[in-house]
Structure 1
Amino acid sequence: MGAIGSSADNAAAKSFNAAFKRETLKGQKGWPSEREARLDAFHWLTRYNTRRRHSRLGQRSPIAYKNALPSTTIALTQAA
């Protein structure tokens, strides 16, 4: 997010909302019921957060990106 009053202040949120509307409504004006709207939102968010490829991650899904990271082991010392 940008600073208050900057042109980039809401750019990320607006982009996210536009993608959500475009990909869930698909030309419709709304949903037949609240339940169907919630289910569509849940399915879209699940796909967006786990399977959708992101340019920032090198066109990989968040899961693929996380799995490609080297695992680090942290040794904790026992407190006295």
Structure 2
Amino acid sequence: MEMKKMVIFMVMMLTIENLTAESEVLIGRWGDCIKTCYNICITGPIHDRISCLPKCAAECGPHKEIDVKKAKGYVN
């Protein structure tokens, strides 16, 4: 019984460690996406800056990269 508890504990610790590592990667990707949106939107016309960033940031998701061509379309 004691061995079974130890194995379960070890599996739980490995699972938590993997989830933590994966979440750090996803947060990093999302941050890069927001930086890309900021750089694209800030270089656009003044009247488009306010509306560009929320539209572009909506495209940022945890599992996808920002499409730069589509994001540049928000600046028009």
Larger Rg: 2
| Structure in which a larger fraction of residues adopt helix | 2
TM above 0.5, yes or no, is no
User: Taking structure 1 as the reference length, what is the TM-score of the superposition?
Assistant: 0.32
Name the structure, 1 or 2, with higher relative contact order (CA <8 Å, separation 6+): 2
When normalised by structure 2's length, the TM-score is 0.33
